[in-house]
Amino acid sequence: MQMQRVEKMEWHACLDEYEKLLFRMNTPRVVIDNGVCPAATIVKVDSARKHGILLEAVQILTDLNLSVKKANISSDGRWSMDVYHVTDQNGKKLTDDSVISYMEQSLGTIHFTRTSDYTGVTALELTGTDRVGLLSEVFAVLADLQCDIVEAKVWTHNGRIASLIYVKDCNSGSPIEDSQQIDTIEARLRNVLKGDNDIRSAKTTVSLAVTHTERRLHQIMFVDRDYEREPVLQRNGDSPVVTVQHCERDYSIVNIECKDRTKLLFDVVCTLTDMEYVVFHATINTTGDRASLEFFIKHMDGTPINSEAERQRVILCLQAAVERRASEGVRLELCTADRPGLLAEVTRTFRENGLNVTRAEISTTLDTALNVFYVTDAAGNPADPKIIEAVRQGIGLSELQVKEMPLIYDRSPEREGEEAVGVAGAVLLSLGSLVRRNLYNLGLIRSFS
C-alpha cells in the first residue's frame, strides 16, 4: 500500500512537470527593446508555430494603433521567430510603460482563448450595394427601432458596402435578445439595403456573437466577392501592385508594393490567413510613404499555389484587402455629446447635401460621440469645399471638424499647420482611449465613469 502511494505521488509529480513543459512550450517568449534601434521599438515574439498565430500577434499591434515600420517573420520547423520594428502614430518609439506592459501580456497569451472587447451588445452585420444616403437610412431605421448604437465601422469598396454595428436597446441598455424584435430589425434593414436593385445580394445578420470588427469586415467583403467587381473609382495610379511567383523550394512568393499606411500589415495577413495560406517567411520594409511586403506562403497541406486561376485570385484578393481601408474623400470628425438619433441626423445632413460616406468609424466614450466619416460627392469625386462648409454650418462648426482634405486641394501653410495639430491630437486621444479600455478590460485600472 505504501509503495502504491509513493508511485502515485511520483506519477502526479511527473504529470505536473509535463503540464509545466507544455505550458512553457505554448507560451510565446516576448522581448520588447527600446535600446537597439534609435528610430523604433523592437518587439520579438518566439512561439510554437500554428495557423493564425501570426495574425493574432499583428492584430494586437494593430489594435494599439502602432505602425510596423519593418518586420522579419520566419518559421523553423515547429517554431516561429518574428521581429517587428514599431512606432506610435507620431513616428516615435514607445515610452508609455502601461502600453508596453499591456503589449507584453497580450502577446504572451496569444495561444490562449481571447475575450472580445465588446460585451453586452448585439452585433448587426450588413452587406449591400453602396449608394448615396444608404447609411443615413440605416441609422434612421435603427433610431426608429429604439436601437442605441454603441460602436460601428463601415467600409465601402468597388460599389459594395459592409458594416458591423454594435447596438443596445435604448430603453433597457441591454443586448437585444427578443426574437420578435430581432426579426423586425433584420426585415427593416434588409428592405433598406435592397433598395431598387440589390434584391439578391443584400444581407442582414443579427447576432450576440462578437468577433474582431475589422477582421470580420474583411471576411464579409471577401464572402461578398468584392474583389471580383469592377472598381467604381480610379485611384490616381496609386493602386497596389501585387505579384505572385513560384519558388524552387515549393513556396509561392507574394510581393506587394503600395502606399504605406496604418494597419496595412494586418489587412494583408488577415486576408492570407482567411484564404487558408500559411506564411512561413516574410519581410516588410517601409521607406517614406511607400511599403514593400514579401511573403513566402503555402497551403495548409504544404503545397504552393498551383494554377494560374488561383494566382490571379490571390492577386485580386490582396489588392482588395489593401484598398478597402484606403479612404477616399474628406475626413470629417464629429465630437459631441451623444444623444438618441444623433447619427441619423448627421448622416441625413450628408445625404441632403449629396455627400456619400465611403468609410465611417463610430464610437462612444463616457457619453461622448467620437465619430469619423470619409465623404465624397455622389460620383465619388472630392467633395466641393463649399458643400463641406455648408454641412459644417448645419451640424455645428465646433462639433464637425475637417481633419484631412484630398491632395487635389491647395492649402495654405497656416491651414496645414492647424490640421496637423488637429490630427495629432485626435490620434493621441484615440490611442489613449483604446489603451485605457484594454487595460480596464484586463482589470489593470478601474473605471472612472
Per-residue pLDDT, averaged over 302-328, amounts to: 93
Asked if 176 and 137 count as a contact pair (C-beta separation under 8 A), the reply is no
Instruction: Answer yes or no: are the C-beta atoms of 185 and 176 closer than 8 Å.
Output: yes
At residue 295, the 3 state secondary structure works out as: strand
Q: Determine the pLDDT at residue 66.
A: 95
pLDDT at 422 (0 to 100): 41
Q: Cβ-count burial of 314 within 10 angstroms (0-12 exposed, 13-18 middle, 19+ buried)? A: buried
Mean pLDDT of all residues in the chain? Answer: 84
Q: What is the SS3 assignment for 308-377? A: HHHHHHHHHHHHHHHHHCCCCCEEEEEEEECCCCHHHHHHHHHHHCCEEEEEEEEEEECCEEEEEEEEEE
Q: What per-residue confidence (pLDDT) applies to 52?
A: 86
* Per-residue pLDDT tens digits for 23-55: 455 678 999 999 999 999 999 999 888 888 899
In angstroms, the CA 323 to CA 422 distance is 25
Q: How confident is the model at residue 410, as a pLDDT?
A: 42
pLDDT (0 to 100) of residue 436: 43
Give the HSE-up count for residue 418: Cα atoms under 13 Å, Cβ half-sphere.
9
H or E stretch at 244: strand 241-246
252-277 per-position pLDDT tens digit: 999 999 999 999 999 999 999 999 99
pLDDT at 419 over 90: no
Indicate if the pLDDT at residue 443 is higher than 80.
no
Q: Cell 507560451 belongs to which residue?
A: 27
Residues in the chain: 449
Distance from C-alpha of 409 to C-alpha of 61, rounded to nearest angstrom: 33
Q: What pLDDT does residue 424 have?
A: 39
pLDDT of residue 184: 96
Find all residues with CB under 8 Å of 332, minimum gap 6, and list them: 372, 373, 374, 375, 388, 391, 400, 401, 402, 403
| E strand map for 67-111 | 67-76, 79-87
> With 90 as the cut, is the pLDDT of residue 444 above it?
no
Rounded Cα gap, residues 99 and 97, in angstroms: 5
* pLDDT in the model for residue 391: 96
pLDDT single digits (tens) 239-250: 899 999 998 788
Distances in Å between the alpha carbon of 146 and those of 167, 170, 270, 340? 10, 5, 34, 8
Q: What confidence category does residue 8 fall into, taking pLDDT thresholds of 50, 70 and 90? A: low
The pLDDT assigned to 101 comes to 94
Interacting residues of 113 by C-beta distance below 8 A, sequence separation 6+ = none
What is the model's pTM? 0.83
Alpha-carbon distance values, 143 to 267, 280, 340, 406, 411 (Å):
32, 47, 7, 32, 38
Band of pLDDT at residue 415, cut at 50, 70 and 90: very low
pLDDT over 50 (residue 133):
yes
Condensed to tens digits (0 to 9), the pLDDT of residues 194-230 reads 876 665 678 899 887 777 899 999 999 999 999 998 7
pLDDT for the residue 403: 85
pLDDT digits (tens, 9 = 90+) for 65-110: 999 999 999 987 788 999 999 999 899 999 999 999 999 999 988 8
Among the listed ranges 32-36, 234-238, 302-306, 394-398, which one has the minimum average pLDDT value? 234-238
Instruction: State the pLDDT at residue 315.
Output: 97
Is 197 in a helix, a strand, or coil?
Answer: coil
Residues 6+ apart with CB under 8 A from 161: 126, 127, 128, 129, 130, 134, 135, 154, 155
The predicted model gives 224-238 an average pLDDT of: 74
Q: What is the mean pLDDT of residues 348-371?
A: 94
Q: What is the pLDDT of residue 117?
A: 58
Question: What pLDDT does 348 receive?
Answer: 96
Q: What is the mean pLDDT of residues 374-386?
A: 92
Domains, the chain, in order of start with CATH, read: 122-216+328-409 (3.30.70.260), 241-324 (3.30.70.260)
Query: Is residue 415 within a helix (H) or strand (E), and if so which, with residue range?
Result: helix 413-441
Burial class (CB in 10 A: 0-12, 13-18, 19+), 372: buried
